[in-house]
Amino acid sequence: METNTYEKAGLFITLDEAKNMNSAFKAKYPDFTQSILFDKELLFTLLNQEGCDKVRVYFGAFEEEESKILKEAVIFVGADAHANDMAGSLILDRGVVCPSMCKGSKIID
């Protein structure tokens, strides 16, 4: 198990950078999920677990119940200060996938 400490994993970017990244992704993967919406309270619950200093995002897929279509997913797992996934921690998934459920305005789209 690695014991590296990551001072800051991630950075904030501008809206233009986000739009450019999103456009590049959609050009390369036109049939993939566009976005996934999560409730703030669920993210905070994950982040507020004891020992959780970071979040690792995994990519996955699940079959939609009604359509039986395989949809992309993101899976959030809490990680400690040494970037080790927290065994026994909460795992967050199943946000609202767009498409097919795309209500609300999106500034990056």
- CA 98 to the chain's CA centroid: 13
State the chain's mean pLDDT as an integer. Answer: 87
Residue 73 has pLDDT above 80, yes or no: yes
Backbone φ and ψ for 103, nearest 5 degrees, come out as: -65, 155
Q: Stretch 77-94: mean pLDDT, rounded?
A: 93
Which has more confidence, 63 or 52?
Answer: 52
Q: Is the dihedral angle over the CA atoms 82, 46, 63, 32 positive or is it negative?
A: negative
Residue 24 has pLDDT above 60, yes or no: yes
Give the residue extent of every domain in the chain: 15-98
- The residue type of 79 is A
- The residue type of 78 is G
Residue 4's pLDDT band (boundaries 50, 70, 90)?
A: low
